[in-house]
């Protein structure tokens, strides 16, 4: 029996062109910190530190710690000049990026279907972002954050997608076996990799990402519009 349903956010519950969103995001963040660093070295450090955070996990060190260590190694700025600007960016400026995304009623309905079936919903978004940036995107998706028993952010996790240890940590935290979990996502590599450890998978095709042209090995394949009915059916 499925006890826990994990939802990806970007391109799954929150329809978007991820390439455009990330581009706008990086440009807006670089503009915010322009008083302390030129844009290009900042963007390079940000991208390289993000790649290192994804590819080089270290036992016992969370994503946030590893990201900033990698970042400052590339762009040695005093922490007290950059961090306040970045915190302010998420509080005041981030909402302007909402225009790069859409709200779909089916997203909230899908999460509601999980709750109505008496199961647990987890927001399994790739934990590259601070919690506030995730909370804001959940709000843009028209979903109350309280609907999720856990949301994965860079403060809470040790691994990133597509590392299967990310999914193993999610399962361990919910105290469920892989076959008791369903992962719903739009990225053939990052989300469907959960299937390799025995998690059931749903591929949401509206904003499908398949950067490496991998086979689409999912237990179910639907448009977001069809997701609430599929979940009602699977959780019956």
Q: Which residues make up the interface to Mg ion (CB under 5 A)?
A: 8, 10-11, 186-187
The distance of closest approach from Cβ of residue 32 to Mg ion in the complex, given in angstroms and rounded to an integer, is: 24
Whether the CB-CB separation of 223 and 205 falls below 8 Å is answered with: yes
Q: Nearest to Mg ion by Cβ — which residue? A: 11
The distance of closest approach from Cβ of residue 166 to Mg ion in the complex, given in angstroms and rounded to an integer, is: 13
The distance of closest approach from Cβ of residue 202 to Mg ion in the complex, given in angstroms and rounded to an integer, is: 12
Of the pair 130, 162, the CB lying nearest Mg ion is at 162
Of the pair 11, 57, the CB lying nearest Mg ion is at 11
Whether the CB-CB separation of 121 and 7 falls below 8 Å is answered with: yes
Orientation of helix 105-116 relative to helix 227-234, angle to 10°:
10
Of the pair 33, 152, the CB lying nearest Mg ion is at 152
Of the pair 8, 64, the CB lying nearest Mg ion is at 8
Of the pair 53, 82, the CB lying nearest Mg ion is at 53
Of the pair 59, 211, the CB lying nearest Mg ion is at 211
- DSSP H or E run through 65: helix 63-74
The distance of closest approach from Cβ of residue 102 to Mg ion in the complex, given in angstroms and rounded to an integer, is: 14
Tokens of 140: 């843009």
Whether the CB-CB separation of 159 and 165 falls below 8 Å is answered with: yes
27 Cβ contact list (under 8 Å, min separation 6):
none
The distance of closest approach from Cβ of residue 101 to Mg ion in the complex, given in angstroms and rounded to an integer, is: 12
CA distance 33 to 25: 13
3-state class (DSSP) for residue 100: helix
How would DSSP label each residue in 109-158? HHHHHHHHTT-EEEE---TTS-HHHHHHHHHHTT--GGG-SEE--TTT-S
The distance of closest approach from Cβ of residue 14 to Mg ion in the complex, given in angstroms and rounded to an integer, is: 8
């Amino acid at each position: 029996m499925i006890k826990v349903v994990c939802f990806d956010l970007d391109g799954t519950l929150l329809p978007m062109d991820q390439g455009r969103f990330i581009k706008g995001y990086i440009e807006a963040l670089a503009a915010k910190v322009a008083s302390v660093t030129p844009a290009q070295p900042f963007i390079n450090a940000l991208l390289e530190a993000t790649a290192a955070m994804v590819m080089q996990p270290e036992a016992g060190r969370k994503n946030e710690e590893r990201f900033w260590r990698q970042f400052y190694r590339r762009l040695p700025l005093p922490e007290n000049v950059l961090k306040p600007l970045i915190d302010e960016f998420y509080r005041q400026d981030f909402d302007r990026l909402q225009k790069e995304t859409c709200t779909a009623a089916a997203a909230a309905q899908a999460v509601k279907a999980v709750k109505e079936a008496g199961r647990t919903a987890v927001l399994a978004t790739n934990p590259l972002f601070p919690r506030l940036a995730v909370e804001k995107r959940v709000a843009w998706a028209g979903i109350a954050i309280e609907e999720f028993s856990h949301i994965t952010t860079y403060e809470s996790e040790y691994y990133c997608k597509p590392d299967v240890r990310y999914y193993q940590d999610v399962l361990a935290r919910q105290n469920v076996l892989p076959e008791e979990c369903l992962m719903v996502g739009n990225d053939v590599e990052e989300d469907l990799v959960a299937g390799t450890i025995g998690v059931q998978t749903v591929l949401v095709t509206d904003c499908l990402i398949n950067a490496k042209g991998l086979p689409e090995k999912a237990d179910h394949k639907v448009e977001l519009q069809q997701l609430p009915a599929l979940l009602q059916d699977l959780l019956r």
